[in-house]
Amino acid sequence: MSSFSAVDYVELPQVFHLSTRYNEDPCPDKVNLTIGAYRDEAGKPWVLPCVRKAESILAADDTLNKEYLSMGGLQSFNDAATRLVLGENSPLIQEDRAVAVQTLSGTGALTLAFQFIKQFYPGNKDVLVSNPSWGNHKLMIDRIDGLNFVQYSYYDAKTMGVDLEGMCRDLENAKDGSVVVLHACAHNPTGIDPSKEQWRKIADICRKKNHFPIFDLAYLGYASGDFNEDAYAIRLFGDLGFEFMVCQSYAKIMGLYCERIGALIFVGQTPEISHKCLSQMKIIVRSIYSNPPAHGARVASMCLNNRDMRREWEDCVKEMHARIRRARSHLHTALKTSNVPGSWEHILAQNGMFSYTGLTKAQCEILIEKHHIYLLKSGRISMCGITQENAKYVAEAFNDAILTAKEN
C-alpha cells in the first residue's frame, strides 16, 4: 500500500481550468477573459521591443556566464527596482533604510514576505486581505502554519466602488499589530482603488492600530500610466514613518511572465534593522530555492538602468495602459449600443487589467457554456481579452445571459 494513498485530488484554480477549456474550444467566436496577461489589439501576447533589444545585447555578450547569482539576486536590478517604487530621491533610500532581494516574481515575493512574517514578526499573526482579492493570497497564507487568513471589507457591490466605511471599520476592529495586505494600485480583481484622500484615512487607521503593511504591487503603471502616480500609497506610508514591505512583479509591467522576476522591498526604522532583516530574508531564500534566475533579472536591470531603454520601456507601459483604456471604451460603447440592461459606467470608472462586471454566477455560466466567452464566475474579466473586433459580440452575449438568467 502506498504511503500516499490518503492524498486527495485537488481541483486546479478556476482561472487555469477555464483557460484550458478555452484553448481546447474549437468555436471560432470564443473569447478568453480569464488570465491576467497583456494582449495587444489582435489578442496576441506582446514581447516588449526593449526586452527584445536587451536579450539581443545579452546574447552577444561573451563576458556573461551561467554562474549562480547571490542569494539576494542581481544587485543592479534590486537597486533599480527600489528606486522605481520609492522614488529616485527617496529619503528611505538615502538613509539606507530600504533594502531588497530579487524574488520569483510577485508570488515569490509574497511567499518570502509571509515566511518572514511567520518567523520574525512579533505582532499577532492575523494577515488581513481585502474581500475580494487575488485568490493566491489565501492559498499562500493558508499553507503557512501559524498565519491566520482574515478578510477586510473592500468592495461595495451597490456602488461598485470602494467600501471605505466597511474597510475602515474592519481595520479598526482588527487586532492591534495585524499584518495588512494592500493592493498598491489597479486592485485585482475589482479594478477599483482608493482615492488619495481615502488612502490617507487608511494610513491613519493602520498607524493608530500599529498594523504592518505589505503592499502587493503587480500593476505599477497600469492604473494611470504613470509610475509615480501609481506608487502614491506606498510613498505615503513611507512619508508617515511606517515600516513596510513591497512585493513587486515584473510579469505584467515588463512582459516577463515566464522569467519569474520580482523584488521584495523592506523598509525598516533604521539601517541596522533593515540589513538584519535583509540577511534573514536571504537565508529564507537559501532554504527554499537558493538563488534566483539571472536572465530575466539582467533584462529587467538593463531596461531599468539604461536611459534610452528605460524611456522606451516607459512608453511601452503607457501604451499597455492606453490599450486597456481603449478596451474599456470599446466594451462600454458596445454595451450601451446593444441596450444591455443595467448601468455600465463602472467599466470606465475601474482601472488596471481587470473589471468586476457585476455579472452573477448564473450569467457567467451562460456566457461560458452558450457563448464560449470564458470568464471567472465571480464576474471578473481581464480587459485585455476585449478588442474592437469582439466587443459587440461580447456585449450581445452579456445581454442574452442577463435576460436568460432572469427568465430562469
Known catalytic residues? 134, 216, 252
Could you write out the DSSP letters of every residue in 320-333? Answer: HHHHHHHHHHHHHH
Question: Sign of the C-alpha dihedral, residues 251, 256, 257, 258?
Answer: negative
Could you write out the DSSP letters of every residue in 129-149? Answer: EEES--HHHHHHHHTSTT-EE
* Nearest by Cα to 64 from 255, 290, 301: 301
d(C-alpha 147, C-alpha 179), whole Å: 10
d(C-alpha 24, C-alpha 19), whole Å: 9
What is the H or E stretch that residue 215 is in? strand 212-217
d(C-alpha 229, C-alpha 89), whole Å: 15
DSSP state of 274: H
Task: Provide the grid cell at 39.
Answer: 494582449
Please work out, in degrees rounded to the nearest 5, the angle formed at the alpha carbon of residue 304 by the alpha carbons of 302 and 308. Answer: 80
Other CB atoms within a 10 A radius of the CB of residue 404 amount to 14
Task: Provide the grid cell at 222.
Answer: 497600469
Classified as helix, coil or strand, 263 is: strand
CA separation, residue 247 to residues 104, 109, 309, 350 (Å): 10, 5, 24, 22
Q: Which residues contact 158 (CB under 8 A, 6 or more apart)?
A: none
151 forms beta bridges with 129
Contact between 351 and 224 under an 8 Å Cβ cutoff? The reply is yes
